């Protein structure tokens, strides 16, 4: 009861500050993250007790009356960055609507652009195998998505402004899906969610606290297809994620 009142107080204060800021600054077009103010004690306890967990919380947002269908439809009509011009399809993501893990890559490739589905090429097949090794699948308990929902030309890295333009969609997805944990695959999603420029070699092998949820950053399956030496550390990362899920009883 006391906790609820405290949480409501924090939300009220946050909205009041935003209201004042909006009145002072013309922020009509600017994206604003609303923190989740999460109060999931059992997660907090696990994360607080685990010395391997690194604190790294960011904002959170949830428009009123949002839905996954609305997000997908908004993505389909989005022209917020230059990537809309070259797309065949948008790729909002796919998977469980109550995911244990949200898996995030960087951006759709050619096959994803053609089908509108994430990770359907060779890297996607390997990803499915990796996930299934720790009891996860996109059919049952994962949601698979990307930082950017449209294919960058020639599969180049999505530019920072393209990532920023797409981030509100990811924020809305995270808010609705409320996954218990995150797995970022590849440098770009790890850096984007953890708000860092650290190399993936430095980011991987640890558990981060991302808004009160564990986040593990690992290699992209396409890197494993190119270079077998990434397989062992990637497997270590998956085991780390699994150990966090076990601790949470998921």
Binding site for ligand URA (CB under 6 A): 105-109, 112, 118-119, 123, 146, 186
Q: How far is the CB of 119 from ligand URA (least distance, A)?
A: 4
- Nearer Cβ to ligand URA, position 53 or 234? 234
Find the residue with minimal CB distance to ligand URA. Answer: 105
Contact 142, 102 (CB under 8 A): yes
- Nearer Cβ to ligand URA, position 179 or 221? 221
Which residues fall within 8 angstroms of residue 56, CB to CB, at 6 or more apart? 194, 195, 208, 209, 210, 215
Q: How many angstroms separate the Cα of 175 from the Cα of each of 63, 118, 120, 170, 178?
A: 9, 19, 25, 8, 5
- Nearer Cβ to ligand URA, position 208 or 219? 219
Q: How far is the CB of 220 from ligand URA (least distance, A)?
A: 6
- Nearer Cβ to ligand URA, position 106 or 237? 106
Q: How many angstroms separate the Cα of 3 from the Cα of each of 6, 34, 36, 241?
A: 5, 19, 14, 29
Which residues fall within 8 angstroms of residue 27, CB to CB, at 6 or more apart? 21
Q: Is the dihedral of CA 45, 51, 57, 61 positive or negative?
A: negative
Q: How far is the CB of 24 from ligand URA (least distance, A)?
A: 39
Q: How far is the CB of 234 from ligand URA (least distance, A)?
A: 14
Q: How far is the CB of 146 from ligand URA (least distance, A)?
A: 5
- Nearer Cβ to ligand URA, position 46 or 123? 123
Q: How far is the CB of 26 from ligand URA (least distance, A)?
A: 35
Structure tokens at 82: 């230059």
- Nearer Cβ to ligand URA, position 109 or 168? 109
Give the dihedral of Cα atoms 75, 80, 84, 85; nearest 10 deg: 160
């Amino acid at each position: 009861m006391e906790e609820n009142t405290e949480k409501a107080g924090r939300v009220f204060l946050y909205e009041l500050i935003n209201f004042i800021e909006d009145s002072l600054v013309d922020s009509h077009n600017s994206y604003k993250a609303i923190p989740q103010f999460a109060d999931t004690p059992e997660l907090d306890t696990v994360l607080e007790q685990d010395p391997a967990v690194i604190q790294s919380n960011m904002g959170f947002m949830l428009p009123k009356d949002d839905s996954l269908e609305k997000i997908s439809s908004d993505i389909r009509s989005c022209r917020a960055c230059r990537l809309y011009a070259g797309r065949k399809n948008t790729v909002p993501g796919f998977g469980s609507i109550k995911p244990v893990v949200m898996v995030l890559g960087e951006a759709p490739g050619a096959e994803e652009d053609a089908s509108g589905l994430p990770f359907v090429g060779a890297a996607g097949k390997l990803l499915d195998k990796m996930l299934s090794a720790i009891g996860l699948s996109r059919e049952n308990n994962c949601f698979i998505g990307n930082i950017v929902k449209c294919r960058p030309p020639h599969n180049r890295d999505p530019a920072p402004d393209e990532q920023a333009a797409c981030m509100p969609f990811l924020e809305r997805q995270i808010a609705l899906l409320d996954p218990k944990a995150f797995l970022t695959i590849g440098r770009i999603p790890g850096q984007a969610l953890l708000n860092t420029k650290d190399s993936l070699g430095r980011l991987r092998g640890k558990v981060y606290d991302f808004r009160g949820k564990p986040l593990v950053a690992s290699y992209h399956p396409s890197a494993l297809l190119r270079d077998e030496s990434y397989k062992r550390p990637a497997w270590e990362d998956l085991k780390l994620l699994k150990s966090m899920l076990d601790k949470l009883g998921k």
